[in-house]
A and B are shown apart, each in its own frame.
Chain A
Amino acid sequence: MLKISHINTFIGRKKIIKDVSFQANPGSIVGLIGPNGAGKTTIMKTILGLTKFTGNISVEDKSVTENDHAALTRVGALIEHPAIYPFLTGLENLKLYSLDETDMNHVFSLLKMDSYINTKSKDYSMGMKQKLGIAIALLNKPQLIILDEPMNGLDIEATILIRQIIKQYAAQGSAFLISSHVLGELQKVMTNVLLITEGKIIVDQPIDEFNRVSHKQYRVLTEDMPTTEKLFAANQVPVTKSDEYLLIPRELSYQVQDLLYDHHIRLIELSPQGLNFEQTIVSLLEQQRRQNHEK
């Protein structure tokens, strides 16, 4: 469906996206996660041929270039803000892009926009505008749907509705690339995790695999935690604080035991800790930051 190979994106002379490769298959929901300024929106814009880039992007085996968007015929997107004309009604905004009236009616009914679809969109609330932006992205039965922060401004009912719609479209074969700062929301729908920081992909895994193997940690509790912390720092043991514990990567558990023993620090607890999704992401980003800093 979507194949990205070794793309580099530049803004001016600055390289924002660095040698990024990944793919999204039919039916997959790829969650694009990363801190502010990591390059999430830039990747999305690049796929849509809106930035200068090197490398290859193809949608359904057709290449996308900065000036040739023929491959994007069956791609829908919501990037940064809903792209709507305030002087048009919701329905007129949809008509602008719709190729099939039945599909258009289906989309706004699905999003429960019937009651205000004929109102000028300048009178819409933020949530209504967001839903209209998502409706535009869903028009014409897209094979690839790119949503940048789709839950922005949505109330709880609308959030649940959008989640259901995303799953429904994915079940019908559409691929999604979604970014969101609300990790909990993303976690509920995504099938693949794509973690990006400083323009580089550091994790590209199916969510099940990510949850199962990648990031189990061990928690450490000693009788002298301040000294332990200093000792770990001096020996470059990456740690994450969690309540009174220090979390360390699983593969370092033996090394840590030896280290504590050598320095006569009594170990009270060393046990496996399954991090929740959010903690894992934060931990991975911290590790990456530390690695970059060491370089």
Chain B
Amino acid sequence: MKNSLKQEFFKFSHQRIPLYGVIALFVLMLYSAVSKSGVSRGIVAQGFGAGQWVTIIMITIASTFMAMEYQNRTIMTLFYKSSNKSFIYFAKLIVITLYGVSLLLLGIVLTFILKMVMVGNRYSWLANYNQHPLWADLLLNILGTLVYLIFIITLAFFLIALIKVNAAVVGVGLAVIFLGADLSALVMSGLPAIASIVKWNPLNMIFVINQFTNAIYVKVSGLSDFQLVAANTVYAIIFIVVGDVLFKNRRV
């Protein structure tokens, strides 16, 4: 496992994709800051969309990082050189998760910089709103994103092991991120009789990003904060276990 981790870190750090991820995050956060007439407190609390942008970037990077082994036909060498195929899967998962967390932390830093440059002292980090100071809202949103990030990375790994096509995985991932919340809310409002079951669907998990700081989302998701975190975790575990089984048994 140690060797697999070393190899995956080496490969990841020698690609340009981590750098592109950082640049993409900065550009997209800047876009969030300038695309509307003024920067609201809510935008700052959401880290200029850092959470949403990081999840989008990460589904692309996670999927590409796994798919490259098939594209470069390196998967056979990885498999026979590794004493256990699962080590490769988990090593990749750990590397990508750590990068995702780093990107989120960078998002916090960029939020402070962007706020300073674009907003100045208009919203104080210490002033309360919705019972929380601005800094706490930011951190809670980032914490929610962290939970969802694990969900989305494990989903990407599961999907690439299942459908094998990088573009398709990215497409499905983006659909989950962009349409998931609306679709889920639509189904639950359209089918109130089975809402108690439907509320656990995977598309609903995205609410964890905003719900910690905005209690209004509880009514939309139908799940408490604890339930959302637990459900995200359970989904992540299912994706990891099933993804690993698919990965190990895939013909190369």
Interface residues of B in 1-46 (CB under 8 A from A): 7, 10-11, 14-16
A204 at the interface (CB under 8 A from B): no
Set of chain A residues within 8 Å of B248, measured between Cβ atoms: 67
Contact call B73/A67, Cβ cutoff below 8 A? no
- Complex CA gap A68/B84 in Å reads 6
Which residue of A70, A77, A87 is within 8 Å of B15 (Cβ)?
A: A87
Residue A151 at the chain B interface, CB threshold 8 Å: no
Check if A86 is an interface residue, CB within 8 A of chain B. yes
Please indicate the chain A residues that have their CB under 8 angstroms from the CB of B11 in the complex. Answer: 85, 88, 96
Range of interface residues on B (Cβ < 8 Å)? 20 to 34
Give chain B nearest CB distance to A2 CB in angstroms. 14
For the complex, would chain A's binding face be called helix, strand, loop or mixed by DSSP majority? loop
Q: Is the CB of A49 within 8 A of B74?
A: no
Q: Are B76 and A83 in contact (CB under 8 A)?
A: yes
A77-B251 in contact (CB<8A): no
Number of interface residues of A (CB under 8 A): 28
Known A-B contacts A83-B72, A83-B73; A48 and B14 likewise in contact (beta carbons under 8 Å):
no
Residues of A within 8 A of B73 (CB): 80-81, 83
Q: Which of A67, A83, A84 has the most CB of B within 10 A?
A: A83
B77 within 8 A of A: yes
A48 contacts which of B68, B79, B251 (Cβ < 8 Å)?
A: B79
Interface membership of A11, Cβ < 8 A: yes
Q: Is B81 an interface residue (CB 8 A)?
A: yes
Give the residues from 82 to 132 in chain A that come closer than 8 angstroms, CB to CB, to chain B: 83-88, 92, 95-97
Give the CA-CA distance A70 to B11 in the complex, in Å: 23
In the assembled complex, the Cα of A87 lies from the Cα of B12 at a distance in Å of: 10
Seen from chain B, the residues whose Cβ lies within 8 Å of a Cβ on chain A are 7, 10-11, 14-16, 68, 72-74, 76-85, 248, 251-252
> Can you give 23 contacting A-B residue pairs, CB < 8 Å?
A11-B251, A45-B76, A48-B76, A49-B79, A50-B76, A50-B79, A69-B79, A69-B80, A69-B83, A72-B80, A73-B83, A77-B76, A77-B77, A83-B73, A83-B78, A84-B72, A84-B74, A85-B11, A85-B72, A86-B72, A87-B15, A96-B11, A136-B77
